[in-house]
Each structure stands twice: as structure tokens, then as C-alpha cells.
Amino acid sequence: MRQMPVELPCPIPYVLAMDHSNYPNDYIRGILNSVKTIALVGASANSARPSWIVTKYLLERGYDVIPVNPGLAGGELLGKTVYGSLAEVPGPIDMVEIFRNSEAAGPITDEALALAPLPKVIWMQLSVRNEEAAAKAEAKGIKVVMDRCPKIEFGRLSGEISWQGVNSRMLSSKKPVLSGKGFQKLGLNRP
């Protein structure tokens, strides 16, 4: 019997396998330079919590941070309306920042993958890792960052974190770039 031609599946977007234990600086910088709207899942109203601090820091750096937390839905956080889930956020989301534990990152990633349009980036906070969720997102062409803090990464790439004696692992013979008014904010794009 003649073999039927095999139908090939649709080509999936080709994504270079990312080494999630060692992100190149340019990869992180590229993400922080390209995203504008960040949905922060696990936002907190407690100003001592890291998620509150990161929300405030990113808002001050010009990102449109949208807090997501079912317990605070409908309220305001740092002047921004809080939504109960990613699906409820009006308008497209560039980056989903997951401020929950590694297990919860699975279903949150699923929610993110159900959005239309899809987010460009899924970022899991420092200590949050979910390889399965990352693989699913990457298969759809979404960039993934795990176990990193966007505030620390911004501070590291800009040079701000050096003021705290933190090892930025960055060397440059070029001046840091002042950003905004005053002297205590630095920009991401130091040569």
C-alpha cells in the first residue's frame, strides 16, 4: 500500500535555548529596554514587602506597572488600579512579572499564555523557578527570565546598585548615564 504523505506540523517559532542559570547582560537589558507595560502578579499593599518595593521602583523608572492580586482587586496600589487576574487587565501586557512561589508560577504562566495578544516576556522573581512553565512559554516565542529581580537587574546594569557596595559584575570605562532629574537615578544604556 502506498504510504500517505505525512502532514508536517506548523513550524513553531524558533527560539534559541536559553541558559536559565546564566543570562547574558544584553538579554536582560534588551528586555528591560523593550517592555513598557508590566503586570505584576502577587502585588502587595504592604510597603515592607519586596513586591511593593519592586512595584514602586519600576513605576519610578517609567514602567506602567499593573498590580494583580485577587485580594486587592478593585483597589488602588501606588496610584494604580489593582486587577484580580491577568485576564481582567485591559489592554496588552508586555511583561508578566510573577511574584509568587515556583509552584504558582505554573498556572500563572498558563493564564499568561491564554492572553491575546501574548506577552513578550514572562519574568519570575528571585527564588522563583518553574522549568516546565518556562519551556511552555518559550515554545510560544516568549522570552523567559527566572530567579531574578528586575529591580536588582536594573540597578546592576545601570550602576545604581554599586552605591550599595553590591558586586554589579559590570566593568565600563564609560560614564554612567544620568536619568531623570537629580543625580540618583541612572539609565540602562551605559555603553
Partner 1 sequence: MSDRLPGFNTLAIHAGAAPDAATGARATPIYQTTSFVFDDVDHAASLFGLQAFGNIYSRIGNPTCSVLEERVAALEGGTAALAVASGHAAEFLTFHTLLQPGDEFIAARKLYGGSINQFNHAYKNFGWNVVWADSDDPSSFEAAITPRTKAIFVESIANPGGVIVDLQAIAAIAKKHRIPFIVDNTMASPYLIRPFEHGADIIVHSATKFLGGHGNSVGGLIVDGGSFNFAGDDRYPMLSKPRPEYGGMVLGETFGNFGFAIACRVLGLRDLGPALSPFNAFLILNGIETLPLRMQRHSDNALAVAEHLANHSKVSWVSYPGLRSDRYHNLAKQYCPKGAGAVFTFGLKDGYEAGVKLVSNLKLFSHLANIGDTRSLVIHPASTTHRQLTDEQKTQAGAGPEVVRLSIGLEDTDDLIEDLNQALDAA
Residues that bind partner 1 (CB under 8 A): 24-25, 46-48, 50, 53, 56-57, 60, 126-127, 149, 152, 155, 159-178, 180-186, 190
**Rounded Cα distance, 126 and 123, in Å:** 9
Kindly state the smallest distance separating residue 174's Cβ from partner 1, in Å.
Answer: 7
CB 74 within 8 A of CB 93: no
Least distance between partner 1 and beta carbon 10 (Å): 35
| Smallest distance from partner 1 to CB 12, Å | 28
Q: With beta carbons less than 8 A apart as the criterion, state whether 124 and 98 touch.
A: yes
Q: Are strands 37-41 and 95-98 parallel, antiparallel or unpaired?
A: parallel
Q: Closest CB to partner 1 among 3 and 167?
A: 167
CB-nearer residue toward partner 1: 60 or 110: 60
Amino acid at position 78, single letter:
L
Minimum CB distance to partner 1 smaller for 139 or for 163:
163
DSSP 94: S
The amino acid that residue 95 corresponds to is M
Question: In angstroms, rounded to a whole number, what is the distance separating the alpha carbons of residues 70 and 100?
Answer: 13
Q: Give the residue with the Cβ less far from partner 1, 85 or 101.
A: 101
State the nearest-atom distance from the C-beta of 80 to partner 1, in Å. Answer: 15
